[in-house]
């Protein structure tokens, strides 16, 4: 984890990144304290689900930033940190303020937005750090882009399905109601797919306009 800056040019970037890190830490600590019942904030679903989601997201973006720093010699752009934090914040706000119950479209918005963010993040990881090690003579620049998008999209949809299984497991163990009504799970999976398609379309359009395979320079 890079905490201190080494050159003046990237000082402002690292200040923003560390500020976002503080939000990650504060959010997770707040969720843990409520899970342990040290704090007693009312929640619509479960604190455990929020802790798992926040911790996994933070670890993923830290890994991405660390690898990007080692390979590119500069910090991962702060916007990636921000969109991941925004995803977590929207999900947490839905639980804190009972928005999932008050607005039927809130759950759909979260699944769409989070899936798009996860797909884009996974695409960045695969396309920047792994795909060039895949040796195949016919896999040129556009082919590597398409393969990266395919792997990112299928991985995101798999993670979305695993998340639904995690919700079901929590309901079985703790007698909660995270799954919601009978149509909730297929509706979640549908908007996961829409979010993935939006991310794929964004990267595809960017490539058609710029002819650059890597979105993060």
209 and 109 co-located in one domain? yes
DSSP letter string, 146-212:
HHHHHHHHHHHHHHHHHHHHHHHHHHHHH----S-STTHHHHHHHHHHHHHHHHHHHHHHHHHHH--
197 and 120 co-located in one domain? yes
Residue 73 is part of which domain span?
1-102
Q: Residue 6's pLDDT is what?
A: 52
Q: Residue 5's pLDDT is what?
A: 47
Tell me: the pLDDT tens digits for 49-98?
899 889 988 998 998 898 888 887 888 888 889 999 999 899 899 988 98
Q: Which of 53, 71, 102 is the last residue of a domain?
A: 102
82 and 118 co-located in one domain? no
How many structural domains is the chain composed of? 2
Element holding 81 (H helix, E strand): helix 78-96
Residue 2 has pLDDT above 60, yes or no: no
Q: Which of 68, 102, 136 is the last residue of a domain?
A: 102
Handedness of CA 40, 42, 48, 52 (dihedral sign): negative
Q: Residue 4's pLDDT is what?
A: 46
Q: What does pTM read for this prediction?
A: 0.81
Residue 23 has pLDDT above 80, yes or no: yes
Q: Residue 53's pLDDT is what?
A: 87
Query: Quick check: 159 and 118 in contact, CB under 8 A?
Result: yes
Residue 138 has pLDDT above 90, yes or no: no
202 and 131 co-located in one domain? yes
Residue 123 has pLDDT above 50, yes or no: yes
**pLDDT band, very low/low/confident/very high, at 7 (cuts 50, 70, 90):** low
Q: Which of 102, 120, 144 is the last residue of a domain?
A: 102
Picking from 63, 57, 65, the residue whose alpha carbon sits closest to that of residue 87 is 57
Average pLDDT along the chain: 86
96 and 3 co-located in one domain? yes
**pLDDT band, very low/low/confident/very high, at 142 (cuts 50, 70, 90):** confident
In terms of pLDDT, which residue wins out, 95 or 157?
A: 157
Picking from 29, 177, 41, the residue whose alpha carbon sits closest to that of residue 100 is 177
């Amino acid at each position: 984890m890079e905490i201190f800056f080494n050159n003046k040019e990237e000082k402002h970037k690292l200040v923003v990144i560390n500020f976002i890190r503080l939000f990650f830490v504060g959010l997770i600590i707040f969720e843990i304290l409520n899970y342990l019942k040290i704090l007693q904030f009312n929640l619509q679903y479960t604190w455990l689900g929020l802790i798992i989601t926040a911790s996994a997201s933070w670890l993923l973006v830290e890994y991405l930033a660390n690898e990007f720093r080692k390979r590119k010699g500069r910090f991962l752009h702060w916007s990636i940190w921000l969109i991941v934090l925004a995803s977590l914040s929207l999900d947490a706000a839905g639980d804190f303020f009972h928005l999932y119950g008050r607005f039927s479209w809130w759950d759909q918005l979260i699944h769409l937005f989070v899936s798009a963010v996860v797909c884009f993040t996974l695409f960045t990881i695969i396309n920047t750090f792994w795909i060039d090690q895949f040796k195949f003579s016919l896999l040129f620049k556009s082919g590597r882009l398409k393969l990266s998008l395919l792997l990112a999209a299928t991985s995101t949809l798999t993670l979305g399905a695993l998340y639904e299984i995690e919700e079901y497991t929590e309901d079985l163990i703790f007698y909660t109601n995270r799954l919601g009504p009978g149509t909730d799970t297929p509706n979640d999976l549908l908007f996961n797919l829409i979010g993935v398609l939006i991310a794929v379309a964004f990267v595809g359009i960017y490539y058609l306009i710029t002819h650059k395979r890597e979105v993060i320079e």
